[in-house]
Structure 1
Amino acid sequence: MSAAAPALHRTVLRLHRTALACWALFVTAVLGGLGWLGGVSAPHIRHLEATCAPSDLCNIPYVGWVYGERLDNVASVIGYGFLAVAAYAGGALIGREMETGTAQLAWTQGVTPARWLAAKLAVPALALTAGDGVLVAAFRWAWSPHRDLRPGDDWSFGGIFLARGPATPAYALCALAVGALTALLLRRALPALAVSLGATGLLHLVLARVRPYLWPRLTRTEPHAYELDDSAWQVAQGRTAGGGYRATYHPPSHFWPLHLMETGIVLAAAALATAAAFALVRRRTA
């Protein structure tokens, strides 16, 4: 690595220190919320359950519902934060510098376009991976021990599904790469912001739709009507040709195969977008 590389990384840090500070503040705030939910709210509900007499009106079901709703909201903030990353990457990280000519100026100061783009992506990628990794670990700490406080298992819910594993940082890295590629293509901040946000959101919508089919489902057939366990993710149900009842579903043990399959697809999309961005910047500056 040349001596110019550390200086370039320091320049990126200085230019985008406000965004990095906002990211650090966001991670800290979410960690605080998870700490309160897992360390204060859940033990309080446990205390109510242990001390409430049958004749008392303790509102335990309502309190548990509120706890679950708050946890779902935090999961959505963690899992879908990649949309903000896409908007930032397309609009501010790359798009604004392409529109104002700052990038072209940097390329005339001894910094190659490829090295400039590598620094632009490496610094936020490191911050996103570290921050999302901490958030995923904290969410698993807050969610796993208190699943019984909710009326049924919710491992298949959209935000919770993403927030419990590496799909969260994978989506963030993909959003970063798509935002950079879009900005290099359009060279304008606002259009790049809108297109990168829409493209990343569309990718997630497609994967969320096909998620149940990323791993083989189980099938249960009975002669009489039945209900699956609350922990199962029921994908489809119907009648058999012989008049029985059939349901296809995923048990909780399928979480990791499903999650890792989606994570791999998202990382592949991130790699393709990154490669396309480098190829584009090389071709345009050849």
Structure 2
Amino acid sequence: MTALSHAPGPASAQRSLRRLHRPALLVWTAFVTAALGGLLWLHLSRVPTERSCLGFHFSTQGDLPVCDYSAFTDANNVFNFLGEALSYSGVAVAAWAGAALIGRELESGTVKLAWTQSVSPARWLAGKLITAAVPLLAGGGLLALAFGWVWTADKDALVTNWTLDRVFIPRGPLLPALLLLGLAVGALAGIALRRTLPALAVAAAVTLAIRLYLRAAWKPLHGPLHGFWAVHLSATAMVLALAAAATTGAFSLLRHQAR
């Protein structure tokens, strides 16, 4: 009775969960802020400069106006770099989810105390996933909106084609969908392996493989479907279906292990 009377309630458990994963939240916030800052810098500073610089800079011969570029100032290079980073961000989410979010607690065995005193295994996993999914969806959605806005407003200065993954993925809801897929795969790997480092490695590898395979899966959609949004939304549906399957698998496996 004493142990039960001091068992943490749902509100206390949620506060403990937020404190436990505060470093990951800070890292995610820093990543989102840096990416948003880079996109704003491109739109407000770099692209306007490159549009107008032909009228201000001249070649050493003094006959033709030219622009001076570098790998760090060319707007298209920076945009491509940000697009690549965002398109693979789900892999990092999977590694974190498999190791820190799920695998660590199962490996240490501390979660069994919570299961017997405060919450069921299914409720424990649901709390974990929801607490992680909210900031991932918020940040991913904001990044997708900003990326799409910059691409639409500045595509005259950005030579990247929208069919390339680095533009196709971050430009809409496919980006937060891939983050959810990484979270689900990480949870499934953590529950299946119950060890931190193996779960980290497997979750990252599986998510990377899925991410690369999906490129081949949604490429044929460019034939029967026309336009960015038709292809993009179809690809998003594919990813969400995989995320739902991985989430269902995680709950089913946890239920089996907790018997």
Instruction: Give the match for residue 177 of structure 2.
Output: 170
Aligned to 2:255: 282
Q: For residues 49-95 of structure 1, give each alpha carbon's deviation from its aligned partner in whole angstroms, at most 9, with x where no partner exists.
A: 45568934422687999211110001111121111001000111101
Aligned 1:79-228 pairs, distance under 5 A:
79-151=87-159, 153-217=160-224
The answer for unaligned runs of 5 or more in structure 2 is: 1-7
Aligned to 2:241, which of 268, 271, 277? Answer: 268
Q: Which has the higher helix share?
A: 2
Indicate which of 73, 77, 83 corresponds to 2:81: 73
Rounded to whole Å, the distance in 2 between the matches of 1:63 and 1:76 is: 15
Instruction: Tell me how far apart the structure 2 counterparts of residues 148 and 106 of structure 1 sit (CA, whole Å).
Output: 56
CA, structure 1 residues 63+206, in 2 after alignment: closer, same or farther (shift >3 Å)?
closer
Specify the structure having the higher radius of gyration (Cα): 1
Aligned counterpart, 1:41 = 46
Instruction: Name the CA shift for 1:103/1:71 in 2 (closer, same or farther; >3 Å).
Output: same
Q: Report which of the two has the higher share of strand.
A: 1
For these two proteins, the number of residue pairs brought into alignment is 249
Consecutive unaligned residues of structure 1, counting only runs of 5 or more, are: 218-249
Q: TM-score, normalised by structure 2?
A: 0.89
RMSD: 2.2
Question: Helix, strand or coil for the counterpart of 1:59?
Answer: coil
Q: Which amino acid aligns with 1:201?
A: L
Alpha-carbon distance in structure 1 between the residues aligned to 2:88 and 2:203: 14
8 Å Cα contact 1:38-1:143 kept in structure 2: no
Quote the Cα distance in structure 1 between the aligned partners of 2:104 and 2:70: 48
TM-score, normalization by structure 1: 0.81
In structure 2, distance between residues paired with 1:61 and 1:93: 43
Q: CA deviation at 1:273?
A: 0.9
